[in-house]
A and B are shown apart, each in its own frame.
Chain A
Amino acid sequence: MPVEGSAHNRQKKEELLLRLHEAEAVLDAIRNGEVDAVVVRTPVGEKVFTLEGSYHPSCVLVETMNEGACTLAFDGTILFCNSRLCTMLDRPLPEILGEPFLRFVVPSDADAFDAILHKGRQERCSVEIRITTPEEKWIPVIFSCRPLDQDGKEGICAVITDLSEKIRLDETIASGNLAKSIIEQAGEVIVVCNEEGRVIRASQLTNDLLGKSPMGEHFDDVYRLTMGETERLFTVADPLQRRFRRNEEVRLKVAAETILYFLLNAAPLTDDGDRVIGCVVTLTDITYRKEAEKNLQRAREELEQRVAERTLDLARTVRELREKEHMLLQQSRLAAMGEMISNIAHQWRQPLNALGLIIQELPMVLEEGELTPEFLDQSVANAMMLVQHMSSTIDDFRNFFKPDKEKVPFRLSQVVGNAVKLIEASFDNREIEITLHFQDDPTIVGYPNEYSQVILNILNNAKDAVEARGTEKPMVEIRIAALGEKSLLTITDNAGGIPEEIIYKVFDPHFTTKDTQGTGIGLFMAKNIIEKGMNGRVSVRNTGTGAEFTIEV
């Protein structure tokens, strides 16, 4: 088919012309320096030959420099880019070329970048910005640029310096310096060991402690630390094998007689991959504290011993006091009995005389033949009356000295009367005058017998005093009055009074002015009865002519 054949030939011819045209274009391009590499087929495959000139020495320099470099059109399109910039942006070259540089700038730094791009058309300038990788890793860089006339076209030449390494380095140096400074100035023993346990850093205090630098030595060789109260030694293998030690007490013998105590903390040091690369051991000196604790313990033991001794002393004193009190009671009782016997003796003297007369009269009357049954009856009746009287006297005394069991109301005049009745005979015998002045007759609540005993004691003292002083016209006055709700009883004698230097001691136990005659108990018991038993008050004063005792209840 000639038509088809002719069309086929024409098509073939066009293809051949096209290929010829392309071949000529290749040759022209090579001749005009428009290609920078040719491909040559060799027995071992294709080889690419880069034409000399496409890599100018300055290009080689740009390709091997450690900074990113690129040329930009005024609109920021990347026209050329070196391999370092590709590495920084973590993208292949074709992905970067022809793209606006802004695409690789962190959005918040876009304004700063635009400003510097604008300025870079005119002059050399630089700015710190952050560029970003496909994985959104931000890299801090210094973007420096200046105007460029490239092949007759205006543009911008830029150099991008990665700051992350520098920042990391600065941070590492800063943290290293900080750590070094902290360790050296620390007030504690801080030792850093490598993974073999050898000391690679130590605080100044460590040198002071050991008297030499431990650097390079194995920790266990330098520090023989005994754990707690045991004899087990601490080893740096513990923290190196991730066995932490927290605030454990250890001992270090630094001289024959000197043992220092520390709190030990030990922990492993790990790298970013959690691999143990060493350990840190800190020792806090607690020797002073331990000493203080020991001293405290010693002081506590001493104190306890002294307390025990004092407790024993106290118990002994209490026992002695009880014994004395018991003795006082006994003495008081004996004194009271003596008083009673003395008073009974006075009371009985007259009736005994009378009884004696009656009995002596009987044989005389019989002798005279005048003893009649009536006379005998009368004599017996008289004698019995006297015996009855003496018997009742004993009852009076017995009742009087019987201690009261409980408080009862009583009239003061009655109690005073009873007491006076008991000593009346002995006062009469000594011609001592007793006068009673009852201004009021108050009733009080208390122990009547004991109150009587108090009056008796004071009256006996008055009797002894007038006797001792040989007072002429001895007399004792007893007055009773009411003072509001209280009763007031005063007993005044005219025996000259009590010397002022001893008057404040008269109520003390065992204080007496009567030499061997007195026990020093009477007034002491009187004060006890009135003040402790009946919430009253006993006092004494000198009137000028004698002593005056006052009882307020």
Chain B
Amino acid sequence: MERAQPERYLLRLYIAGRSRLSQRAVVNVKAICREHLPERHILEVIDIEEQPELAGSHQIVAAPTLVKESPLPHRRFIGDMPKTSTILQGLGLDPES
């Protein structure tokens, strides 16, 4: 019986320039991806200070914000994402589930 291919995750992280929490969010999200989604994720980092129109079209109200674009359902997380377990749960990667 063939095992289904693990789903690829498309994640978008919206940050605000060089601010402290945004930088921390980048470090934290990269660490999660490297550890829990190796070889099966695409992470796009979008600076809303440089591209504020993208913030509007993606209904981003604050930064840093991580959006899980796929697989559905969409999920978004606000803040510098220090709590890995919360993020994993939100991404459907809860190790206990």
Contact = CB atoms under 8 A, between A and B. Distances in A.
Interface of A: 18, 22, 25-26, 29-30, 32, 34-39, 41, 45-48, 50, 54-56, 59, 63, 77-83, 93-94, 97-99
5 contacts: A22-B76, A22-B78, A26-B78, A77-B27, A93-B47
Nearest to A80: B23
B52 A55 contact: no
Q: Which 4 residue pairs spanning A and B have beta carbons closest together?
A: A98-B30, A37-B16, A34-B79, A94-B45
A129 to B, nearest CB: 23
Interface string B5-19: 000000001011111
Nearest to A77: B27
Given A35-B65, A48-B55, A79-B23, 8 more contacts: A29-B78, A35-B62, A35-B64, A37-B19, A45-B52, A79-B24, A82-B18, A97-B27
Given A48-B49, A50-B17, A97 B23 contact: yes
Given A48-B16, A55-B19, A98-B31, A35 B63 contact: yes
A26 B27 CA distance: 20
Contacts of B61: 26, 38-39
Interface of B: 13, 15-24, 26-31, 34, 45, 47-49, 52-53, 55-56, 60-65, 73, 76-80
A35 B24 CA distance: 11
B56 A39 contact: yes
A74 B49 CA distance: 31
A25 B77 contact: yes
B63 A36 contact: yes
A235 to B, nearest CB: 56
Contacts of B19: 36-37, 50, 54-55
A79 B31 CA distance: 11
B26 A94 contact: yes
A30 B16 CA distance: 14
Given A34-B79, A37-B49, A80-B20, A98 B27 contact: yes
B16 A50 contact: yes
B53 A29 contact: no
B10 to A, nearest CB: 16
